[in-house]
Amino acid sequence: MNALWIVLVVVALLAVWVVVSYNRLVGRRNEVDNAWSQIDVQLKRRLDLIPNLVETVKGYASFEKSALEAVIDARAKAMSAAPTPAAQGAADTGLTGALRQLFALSEAYPDLKANTNFLALQEELQNTESRVAYARQFYNDAVERYNNTTQSFPGVIFARSFNFADREYFEAEAAAASVPSVKF
Amino acid sequence: MAVGVLIGNGTLGTVVALAFSGVTAFVSYWKSDAIALRMSRAVPADPVAYKRLHNLVEGLCIAGGLPKPRVYVINDPAPNAFATGRNPRNAAIAVTTGLLDKMNRVELEGVVAHELSHVKNYDILVMTLAVTLVGAVAILTDIALRMMWWNGGRLHRSGDHDDRGNPLAIVGLVLLVVAPLLARAMQAAVSRRRETLADVSAVQLTRYPPGLISALEKLQADSTVTHSASMATAHMWIEQPLSGVNDTGRLGFFHKLFDTHPPLAERIALLREI
């Protein structure tokens, strides 16, 4: 009789333990998904701002066509990028580079620099860029917590059996850190 | 409590005291942010005039995965800031105009990150609970003390020469003297540990320790007294707002015990190790 009770209690405790561990994994995974969608929101905002910028700059006939086309191209690439951290990161790095080039070139156009619309867009884009960076930081923190849970005991047991795959970090590429070169 | 003494009825007094402290605790839980903001004369920050501040707060909230708190500005030349509320959804942070004037972007970012860390770590709630706890200690003291005066409500009979009194009364007497001091020291200790934790979490948010270090150094160099602060709100600010305690020199044991913040020099030294 006593032995039966002990077995029952142990089984119940085990069940609770499994449920708690599983729920923790689910919670961490959802956190990662949420962080990922935060990046998406900021990136989308950024892509939506670019057509306005292109229209504003187009008015200045003498402005370098190549720089504008580079931005338009990079935007198209970013729109169609596969939804993985690596692909999105690469597309976004291209866009950041093209935008930096455009803003660096704009220094040579006093009319453009005096255009309030252009200045507002420039500030908005820079703000969005830093928000993208913040969102990625949050994503990486979430991935770290999630991967720590799936890779360490006891999470590792359930991660294997319930198919919780490790997530990929967002890594800044070398190009993102480089300074744009300007030739006049 | 004093009402109980005046009425001369122990039971009623205790009930009144309990009801009073219950209401106080409830109000402090739900309204602490509004009270603290009102006491500091904080006004909501205009999203256009304080665009830089709003942008900073928004960005750091994204990094920390927090909802954006309400942002307030206090018209005070002393650089300082605090966070209040009961949870991240109902939080507010306030900064003085002095802070906005004297700090550059990375420094301001460090300070805002420090305040957001208080929100994220639920320090704002911890401080509210500390206040409530101090209130509870006061009630216990009161009850023990009443037992000493009225002998626990028992009548004194002739022939009852056992005048050693209730042992609880002695505890009450000791508590009466020690409890308020203990409560203050506890409040200060909780606050100091949370300040250090918030400093470290802030750096985790900004990923840039020099920003907060430089901000703390500026606070250290600045000797303006925050006029909007009072004893009651002292533990909430990023820097000890009241004069009389200097942050530069070594503090005596007694001062250390009742300080709501660790000395700035200690905080800077800790951040340098990261």
Q: Where do the structural domains in chain A lie, given as residue ranges?
A: 32-151+168-177
The rounded percent of chain A whose pLDDT value lies above 90 is: 10
B59 touches chain A (CB under 8 A): yes
Q: Which of B25-34, B152-161, B220-229, B260-269 has the lowest mean pLDDT?
A: B152-161
Cis peptide before A85 (omega within 30 of 0): no
Would you say residue B157 has pLDDT above 60?
Answer: no
Chain B residue numbers touching A35 (CB-CB < 8 A):
65
Better-predicted residue by pLDDT, A16 or B256: A16
Taking an 8 Å cut-off on Cβ atoms, the answer to whether B65 and A127 are in contact is no
What is the predicted pLDDT for the residue at A96?
A: 86
What is the predicted pLDDT for the residue at A179?
A: 55
Q: For A38, which of B60, B62, B207 is closest by C-beta distance?
A: B62
- Output the DSSP codes for B37-73: HHHTTEEEPPTTTTHHHHHHHHHHHHHHT-PPPEEEE
- Grade residue B168 by pLDDT with cuts at 50, 70 and 90: low
- Grade residue B162 by pLDDT with cuts at 50, 70 and 90: low
What is the predicted pLDDT for the residue at B123?
A: 84
What is the predicted pLDDT for the residue at B138?
A: 65
What is the predicted pLDDT for the residue at B249?
A: 38
Look over chain B and give the mean of its residue pLDDT values, rounded to a whole number: 75
What is the predicted pLDDT for the residue at B3?
A: 45
What is the predicted pLDDT for the residue at B114?
A: 93
Taking an 8 Å cut-off on Cβ atoms, the answer to whether B58 and A131 are in contact is yes
Helices A85-106 & A2-58 angle (0-180, nearest 10):
30
Q: For A131, which of B62, B64, B65 is closest by C-beta distance?
A: B62
Most trustworthy range by pLDDT among B102-111, B126-135, B243-252: B102-111
Give A100 to chain B, closest Cα distance, Å.
20
DSSP strands (E only) in chain B = 42-44, 70-74, 81-87, 90-96
A127 touches chain B (CB under 8 A): yes
Give B58 to chain A, closest Cα distance, Å.
8
Give B203 to chain A, closest Cα distance, Å.
13
- Provide CB contacts within 8 A for B262, sequence distance 6+: B192, B195, B196
Ordered by where they begin, the domains of chain B are 31-125+187-272 (3.30.2010.10)
Please tell me the distance from the alpha carbon of residue B112 to that of residue A142, in angstroms, as a whole number. 21
DSSP strands (E only) in chain A = none
**Span A10-58, pLDDT tens digits:** 999 999 988 888 888 899 999 999 898 888 888 888 888 888 888 888 8
Q: Any bridge partners for residue B70, and if so which?
A: B92
Q: Which token pair is B202? A: 């802030």
Taking an 8 Å cut-off on Cβ atoms, the answer to whether B62 and A31 are in contact is no
Please tell me the distance from the alpha carbon of residue B37 to that of residue B233, in angstroms, as a whole number. 10
Q: For B63, which of A34, A127, A138 is closest by C-beta distance?
A: A138
What is the predicted pLDDT for the residue at B208?
A: 86
The rounded percent of chain B whose pLDDT value lies above 90 is: 14
Average pLDDT over residues A120-130: 86
A140 touches chain B (CB under 8 A): no
Question: Number of residue pairs across A and B with CB atoms under 8 Å?
Answer: 26
What is the predicted pLDDT for the residue at B163?
A: 52
* Closest to A125 (Cα-Cα) out of A64, A69, A172, A57: A57
Better-predicted residue by pLDDT, B56 or B125: B56
Please tell me the distance from the alpha carbon of residue B35 to that of residue B94, in angstroms, as a whole number. 13
Q: Within its chain, how far is the Cα of B191 from the centroid?
A: 6
DSSP 3-state of B36: helix
Average pLDDT over residues B96-125: 90
Q: For A135, which of B55, B62, B207 is closest by C-beta distance?
A: B62
pTM of the model as a whole? 0.73
Helix (H) or strand (E) holding B173: helix B167-206
Amino acid at B47: P
Average pLDDT over residues B62-66: 88
Taking an 8 Å cut-off on Cβ atoms, the answer to whether B63 and A134 are in contact is yes
CA distances from B269 to B106, B197, B199, B214, B246 (A): 19, 14, 11, 12, 17
* Closest to B198 (Cα-Cα) out of B238, B241, B258: B238
The rounded percent of chain A whose pLDDT value lies above 70 is: 92
* Closest to B212 (Cα-Cα) out of B114, B97, B72, B140: B114
* Closest to A65 (Cα-Cα) out of A31, A14, A102, A114: A102
Active site residues of B: 115
- Provide CB contacts within 8 A for B16, sequence distance 6+: B1, B3, B4
Under CATH, to which class is A32-151+168-177 assigned? mainly alpha
Chain B residue numbers touching A131 (CB-CB < 8 A):
58-59, 62
